[in-house]
Amino acid sequence: MIKPTMILITAEWQDANSFKLIPIDKECPYSEGIFDIEKKVLALMSWQSKDSMHLVARLNENGDPVPPKKPRPNGKRYQEQRVVVDTFVEYYVSIPEEIENLLNMFAINAKEFDYKQYLTADPKGKLLSTVPASKMPDKTKENIKKEIKKPAAKKA
């Protein structure tokens, strides 16, 4: 059995409420986890790093981007160069059952935290309250959306 080494917390991601996983133990294999509510993907960042190639702006001796000699096909207004960057290994989980299995294995509070509301949330109807929908008295996500869309009453 895997020892739970992370805790689930409510977090904002891409202007919507979501959840994050943060480590609570030194033996945790991940440095962070975040659920992308729009793509329905759990991204886990590992402590392990790897070298990867990235395009970055070419800089002059003053640290300013070097302008191109002719227009760039990608529309950028500076020269680019490939450099090797040390980046953390990332894992992406998109199958809901696998996301739930991972949360139940690694999150110490998976049974108490209402993460399922984010797995099924409508990405266009972004949540604006930090209170989980299951804890809201007499209001549903749809009622909140309706209240937000109502125009302000004009004063006479």
How many Å separate Cα 24 from the centre of its chain? 19
pTM of the entire predicted model: 0.62
Burial class (CB in 10 A: 0-12, 13-18, 19+), 48: exposed
User: Taking the domains of the chain in order of start, what are their residue ranges?
Assistant: 6-49+86-149
Tens digit of pLDDT for each residue in 111-152? 999 999 888 877 665 544 445 555 555 444 455 444 444 444
Residue type, 80: E
Tens digit of pLDDT for each residue in 28-76? 999 999 999 889 999 999 998 889 898 899 999 999 999 998 888 888 9
